[in-house]
Structure 1
């Protein structure tokens, strides 16, 4: 199996696609031996004011703990679907690409069905 191409989107597209996310869970131990760079960068990326303004209903929960478990990111979408990521094994670009791809599919379904997102 080959490497899946990454989806690159503009800031405007990313802002629009973020509106399809309803809930984000981030769990990490800041003192662990696990690789945390992707988790922290993802947290920073989804916390920017532009995204928070685009989707103020999106709940972002960050759990910091002292357990010896790998970091985790879980995303729930407007259509009820969800994705879970192991950021220790992924780069933040891969995580964001997967999220954008999934949100893009939901966006296409909404457009096909003639549905509109709430303002």
Structure 2
């Protein structure tokens, strides 16, 4: 609906009921909404939201880079810390495989 309002040339968009406070909403939908809010604001459209909404706000209420004392193991919205070592290393192994695959074979016996 944000994109539709931008397309139709509205000068002000009021958002109601778009809290994005649950983990599922945060992961699947929040980024898209924040993109369109930023797009609208970049075009000079005034965008307002309800006070309790988490759209365009940091997940912990603390700006990025701000030093705070929180045990990051207790705050893990994507469950990254719960992955076992093999799952964490799988991404690194895939990158290594790509590097080896793209590397030219210099051994003439294998050519």
Structure 2 length as normaliser, TM-score? 0.29
Q: Which has the higher contact order (CA 8 A, sep 6+)?
A: 1
User: Which structure's residues are more often strand, by fraction?
Assistant: 1
Larger Rg: 2
